């Protein structure tokens, strides 16, 4: 049986070679990663490299404790994973059986659909309508009532918007199934989901160290939920999918969150400036509470993306067959990188 496959963009080295550029000239506006380097991690990696002959502790108890302290929860409400991506796949394995129904609000992160298909469950898509792509709460409530699992991306990737708390609570209350709330961008909205985990027995919250914490290359995430949900995830979790180096980095970052908060503040400020520049280039910029901006470019979107790629600027494109075929998504990077993007955009659009 064939399953849908996640489509990867070319690597920065491949893009540089095709454009005749040095790899250092490639700027990734497509991954929603942090523009800040991880120079602080060097000493941690050197020290941890002395123990690479041993497996990491399969329980990841120290990582659970660091997450629990950061979130203000007990460790029995925490389960780690190799990024939120692994936790999405594990949630589908743990909570969906063949033929059962999972609901999502499209357009959204494609891995929810892939994870659902891999366990041979049925996907019900509730579409947000262009041009505003507002959250279709009434349709979601109807679909959620007889669903075993509801995938919610809050705030939304790729849209950048966020349902209201009242809408989220209504969906949680409407279903007897599980609501998996992917909060990959929660630090940019200031969302604290720990009280919700205590309040709702059928809510599983996924978090990642890849975005605000700037550890995308380390591949560390965690889920928050009641102990029964955590135990179910632990039952399908592989024993050592997070490397010991990644664990060390994640613990260090969680124990010094002020650095992350400072980076988030600078990205929020730069988001406002970048949005103004994109609007000044004639693009319609959708409101965003994340570290990226979704823009309506029109039928020239594919050509513009190719022009930018030729200069080493990689942006997120979407299928022509879907509702975002005329849109491009831009990650907020450093002011210098963003200025380079705006300059290249003006050349392409002129």
- Say how far residue 233 (Cα) sits from the centre of its chain: 19
* Section 256-282 average pLDDT: 98
Which of 333, 286, 325 lies closest to 302 in space, CA to CA?
A: 325
* Section 189-198 average pLDDT: 96
pLDDT at 1: 59
Ordered by start, the domain boundaries in the chain are 12-30+258-349, 39-255
7: pLDDT strictly greater than 80: no
For residue 209, give the 3-state DSSP assignment. coil
pLDDT at 18: 87
pLDDT, tens digit (0-9, with 9 covering 90-100), for 15-29: 999 889 999 999 999
298: pLDDT strictly greater than 90: yes
Average pLDDT, the chain: 96
3: pLDDT strictly greater than 90: no
pLDDT at 10: 86
pLDDT cut 70: percent of the chain above it: 99
5: pLDDT strictly greater than 80: no
Q: Are 236 and 90 in contact (CB under 8 A)?
A: yes
pLDDT, tens digit (0-9, with 9 covering 90-100), for 148-183: 999 999 999 999 999 999 999 999 999 999 999 999
| Model pTM score | 0.96
* Section 274-298 average pLDDT: 98
- Interhelix angle 335-349/257-280, rounded to 10 degrees, is 20
Cα–Cα distance for residue pair 210/153, rounded to 1 Å: 15
pLDDT at 19: 86
Instruction: Label residue 327 by pLDDT band (50, 70, 90).
Output: very high
pLDDT, tens digit (0-9, with 9 covering 90-100), for 9-68: 789 999 999 889 999 999 999 999 999 999 999 999 999 999 999 999 999 999 999 999
pLDDT, tens digit (0-9, with 9 covering 90-100), for 75-134: 999 999 999 999 999 999 999 999 999 999 999 999 999 999 999 999 999 999 999 999
pLDDT at 181: 98
- Scanning the chain, the segments in alpha helix (DSSP H) are 12-19, 42-48, 61-71, 83-95, 111-118, 137-144, 165-174, 186-189, 194-199, 227-236, 244-255, 257-280, 301-310, 335-349
Q: Are 71 and 230 in contact (CB under 8 A)?
A: no
69: pLDDT strictly greater than 70: yes
pLDDT cut 90: percent of the chain above it: 96
Distances (CA, A) of 111 to 69, 203, 228: 29, 19, 24
Omega cis (within 30) before 105: no
Q: 7-14 long-range contacts, Cβ below 8 Å, gap at least 24?
A: 7/110, 9/314, 12/314
Give the CATH number of domain 12-30+258-349: 3.90.1150.10
pLDDT, tens digit (0-9, with 9 covering 90-100), for 213-231: 999 999 999 999 999 999 9
Q: Which fold has domain 39-255?
A: 3.40.640
């Amino acid at each position: 049986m064939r399953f849908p496959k996640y489509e990867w963009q070319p690597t920065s080295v491949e893009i540089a070679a095709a454009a005749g550029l040095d790899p250092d000239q490639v700027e990734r506006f497509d991954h929603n990663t942090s523009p800040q380097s991880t120079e602080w991690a060097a000493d941690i990696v050197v020290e941890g490299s002395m123990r690479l002959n041993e497996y990491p502790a399969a329980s990841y108890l120290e990582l659970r404790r660091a997450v629990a302290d950061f979130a203000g929860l007990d460790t029995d409400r925490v389960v780690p994973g190799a990024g939120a991506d692994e936790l999405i796949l594990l949630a589908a394995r743990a909570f969906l059986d063949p033929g059962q129904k999972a609901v999502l609000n499209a357009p959204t992160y494609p891995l929810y659909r892939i994870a659902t298909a891999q366990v041979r469950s049925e996907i019900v898509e509730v579409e947000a309508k262009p041009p505003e792509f507002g959250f279709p709460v009434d349709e979601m409530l109807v679909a959620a009532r007889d669903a075993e699992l509801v995938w919610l991306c809050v705030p939304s990737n790729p849209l950048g918007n966020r349902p209201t708390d009242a809408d989220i609570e209504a969906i949680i209350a409407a279903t007897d199934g599980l609501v998996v709330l992917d909060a990959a961008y929660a630090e940019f909205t200031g969302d604290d989901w720990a009280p919700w985990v205590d309040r709702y027995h059928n809510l599983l919250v996924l978090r990642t160290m890849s975005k605000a914490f700037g550890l995308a290359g380390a591949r560390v995430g965690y889920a928050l939920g009641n102990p029964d949900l955590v135990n179910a995830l632990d039952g399908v979790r592989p024993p050592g999918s997070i490397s010991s180096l990644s664990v060390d980095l994640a613990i260090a970052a969680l124990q010094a969150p002020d650095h992350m908060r400072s980076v988030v503040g600078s990205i929020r400020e730069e988001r406002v400036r970048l949005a103004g520049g994109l609007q000044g280039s004639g693009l319609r910029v959708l409101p965003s509470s994340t570290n990226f901006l979704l823009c309506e470019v029109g039928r020239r979107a594919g050509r513009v993306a190719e022009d930018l790629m030729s200069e080493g600027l990689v942006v997120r494109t979407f299928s022509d067959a879907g509702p975002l075929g005329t849109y491009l998504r831009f990650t907020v990077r450093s002011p210098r990188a963003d200025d380079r993007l705006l300059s290249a955009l003006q050349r392409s659009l002129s």
